[in-house]
Amino acid sequence: MQKKIIKSNYIANSNLDGWLNNHAIVIENKKVIEVINQDSVPQGGSFEVIDFGDTYAIPGIIETHAHLQFSATPDAYEIYFEENENQRYERAVKNAETALMSGVTSLRDLGSPNNLIFPIQNDINNGIIKGPNIYPTGTPITIKDGHCWFFGATVNDINDIFRVIDNQLSLGATHIKIMASGGNFTPSSNPRISQFSLKTIQETVNYCNKNNTYLCAHTLSRNSTIQCIESGVQNIIHGRWFDESSDKAYSFNKEYSKMIVDKGLFVDSTISKHLLEYESKLMGEKQRASNPNVKSEPTLESIINIFRYLDSEGVKIIGALDMGMSRADFNKAAASAWVHTEWLGFDHWKAIRSITITNAEALRIEKSKGLISEGFDADMVFYNNNPAANIRNLVFNPAHVIKNGEIIF
């Protein structure tokens, strides 16, 4: 690949806390070679100089929570069952390209059929279709009639879990996901109920560690969230606190925030999806149906207050949209930075870090992704207006996207 020099008047520095003015990014063999002052750009030579002018460059967005096969509509569950495998694949192809064109250069898929996500990843890697770098889990671990049972990896005991993990890793999974509680999306499951015992979660974490991978756990119930924190599950997905009693919405235990920090765990809040649903509701659009097992819903304010408290205690909250769920469209990953600023009180640079380098840390790819810096993969997105001044300048249609050193547009 020919060496490229990309000029941009504002490039995020390697601390992601300010701009380098009038600099240029030198790219070769899909990597950032160096970031130099534009005055130092050599004249002539065997490289291409591209001037993006008065733009703002940040690292490519890393989306940590996506389901490529879903429609991102209120009836996503029903549509999934109406479509055949070919239609689901075609939808996933379109969703992957949509994500890339919005600035997502890396995407962690947190639950898809094995016969869909691994071929998608392979086709993207081979240049057959366009999309972000994919970090797949494939089929998540669940129980009979449990959350996302229809993907296939239902288990009865710990030996079944070990077999699923072995199979997923052999297919190329970069991590493992377990449905530690029921989910709102699956009508036959109950978000208030834990699907596994503490002992099972602990043994699953240990087996992942032994196999040099990490565990992500979907947790909506209070008990499942506590089980996963105590077990050291590296990525707590949703991290909700549904009380076991249907008469009570939430039972939040503040003391667990310190344990999350001490164990170095990451929490995926998915509250950006709530922001998009909230704004959609204000416009009078159709909303998803409630899970029949949930009678007492927590208020939006209570969810926000929990994550504000966790952040104040030093918990690492990662940007995670839950792409494919209702209103969580594949071009809206930047909404995680919006909500972290507007609802959780992050400063603008911290919000930008929450969709770039912090997410890279959660995915264990922080040595190659998440910064525009020497030796890092050449993944970056350019905006016409300053996101450090107004977080909503992280628009869904950026000016330019570069992935693996290739200018997408």
The DSSP annotation for 18-80 comes to: SEEEEEEEEEETTEEEEEEEGGGPPSSSSEEEEE--S-EEEEPEEEEEE-TTS-SSTTHHHHH
- Predicted local distance difference test score (pLDDT) of residue 220: 93
Q: What pLDDT was estimated at residue 358?
A: 98
Domain ranges of the chain: 3-58+371-407, 61-362
CATH number listed for the domain at residues 3-58+371-407: 2.30.40.10
The CATH superfamily holding the domain 61-362 is: Metal-dependent hydrolases (3.20.20.140)
Q: Exposure of 194 by Cβ count < 10 A (0-12 exposed, 13-18 middle, 19+ buried)?
A: buried
- pLDDT given for residue 295 in this prediction: 63
- What are 213-222's pLDDT values in tens digits? 999 999 999 9
Q: 110: burial class by Cβ within 10 Å (0-12, 13-18, 19+)?
A: buried
Q: Looking at residue 398, what is its pLDDT?
A: 98
Given this model, what pLDDT does residue 36 score? 97
- Give pLDDT, residue 291: 63
- Give per-residue pLDDT as tens, 151-173: 879 999 999 999 999 999 999 99
The pLDDT of residue 323: 97
Token couple for 201: 């979660």
The Cα 117–Cα 176 span in angstroms is: 14
Taking a C-beta distance cutoff of 8 angstroms, is the pair 59, 356 a contact?
Answer: yes
The pLDDT score that the predictor gives to residue 10 is 98
Would the CA dihedral through 229, 165, 328, 10 be positive or negative?
Answer: positive
Q: Which residues of the chain have pLDDT under 50?
A: none
| Distance spanning both ends of the chain, measured CA to CA | 17
